[in-house]
Amino acid sequence: MIKQYTFDKLGKANHGWLQSSHHFSFANYYNPARTGFGTLLVVNDDWVASGTGFPTHPHRNMEIISFIRSGSIVHQDSAGNKGITPEGEVQVMSAGTGIAHSEYNLSKDPLTFYQIWIEPNQLNIKPRWESKRFSEKAENGGLALLVSGYPEDKDNALYINQFARIYGGKVDKGSEFEIQIEHQAYVLASDGQFQVSDNQDSIVMNKGDGAEVTKQKTIKFTALTDCEIIVIDAPVD
Please write the tens of the pLDDT for every residue from 164-193: 999 999 999 999 999 999 999 999 999 999
Sign of CA dihedral 198, 202, 207, 213: negative
For residue 12, give every residue at least 6 positions away whose Cβ sits within 8 Å of its Cβ, in sequence order, or none: 20, 21, 22, 29
pLDDT at 200: 85
pLDDT at 187: 98
Q: Position 194: which residue type?
A: F
CATH architecture group of domain 2-234: Sandwich (2.60)
Strands 11-14 and 18-22: antiparallel
Average confidence (pLDDT) over 58-85: 97
φ, ψ at 61 (rounded to 5°): 50, 60
Q: Which of 28-37, 119-128, 140-149 shows the lowest mean pLDDT across its residues?
A: 140-149
Q: Where are the alpha helices (DSSP H) in 48-156?
A: none
- Overall pTM > 0.85: yes
**Predicted local confidence at residue 162, as pLDDT:** 98
**Sequence-ordered list of residues with C-beta below 8 angstroms from that of 121, at least 6 positions apart, any chain:** 149, 161, 162, 163, 235
Q: Is the pLDDT assigned to residue 62 strictly greater than 90? A: yes
Summarize pLDDT for 103-128 with one digit per residue, the tens.
999 999 999 999 999 999 999 999 99
Domain coordinates of the chain in residue numbers? 2-234
